[in-house]
Amino acid sequence: DGGITQSPKYLFRKEGQNVTLSCEQNLNHDAMYWYRQDPGQGLRLIYYSQIVNDFQKGDIAEGYSVSREKKESFPLTVTSAQKNPTAFYLCASTAGGRQGDYGYTFGSGTRLTVV
Amino acid sequence: AQSVSQHNHHVILSEAASLELGCNYSYGGTVNLFWYVQYPGQHLQLLLKYFSGDPLVKGIKGFEAEFIKSKFSFNLRKPSVQWSDTAEYFCAVRGPSSNTGKLIFGQGTTLQVKP
């Protein structure tokens, strides 16, 4: 079955550490996105990538970094510079294609807790 | 700045009651509008979307939404809710200047349906 796999499901990080969240898709989608979900704030865009080897900052990119070396993979690194990293992180992808027809497929998320 | 506002953060209804969740956005011009649902422990999934044409769109599980351009609104409705509709609901907008598929999400509304 095609879909998006995020790992790990739960992640604990000590303050001052960098951690990397994995996102892999086998949908052959061109575009991939990282969102952060916090209670009462909805989903906020961290980074997105429309094509391999290219990515853009979203609304809350500070303290995060990404890479897009392969079409199917879009890992997110939460660096020590991120002041409040405890959150639920969602990865999504979309085929793009016809302008306006951007249905997202979401992963199951990674819950990151700083201890 | 582009934004999406959901009026109700937490809604509690009894089964068979009617539902209306408000969503307003701050774009001008042509927009694409979406409602997503996140059932407990599950992925975000698309309920319905509006791109053009009939402003009353029907989605899965008996949900519908009406696009009112003059009010910048895209409210979600269901005539009779069920206990299984308990979930978090997100309104999302893709703005006219975006050719990236980037969606802006509202804060989310938690719906609790009492059996």
- A70-98 pLDDT per residue, tens: 999 999 999 988 889 999 999 999 886 54
pLDDT of A63 strictly over 80: yes
Q: Contact A100/B104, CB-based, under 8 Å?
A: no
Please count the CA atoms within 13 angstroms of the CA of B66 that sit on its side-chain side.
Answer: 8
**Interface residues of chain A, partner chain B, Cβ below 8 Å:** 31, 33, 35, 40-45, 48, 50, 56, 58, 90, 92, 94, 96, 99-104, 106-109
Q: Residues A7-59: pLDDT tens digits?
A: 999 999 898 899 999 999 999 999 999 999 998 888 999 999 989 999 999 99
pLDDT for res A99: 46
Is residue B108 pLDDT above 50, yes or no?
yes
Residue A28's SS3 state is coil
pLDDT band (50, 70, 90) for residue A100: very low
Q: Count other C-beta atoms under 10 Å from residue A108's C-beta.
A: 16
Q: Which pLDDT tens digit goes with each residue over B17-76? A: 999 999 999 877 778 899 999 999 888 999 999 988 999 999 999 999 999 999 999 999
Please tell me the predicted confidence (pLDDT) of residue A97. 53
Angle at B20 between CA A103 and CA B43, to 5 degrees: 35
Q: Tell me: pLDDT of B7 over 50.
A: yes
Coil vs helix vs strand at B84: helix
pLDDT exceeds cutoff 50 at A101: yes
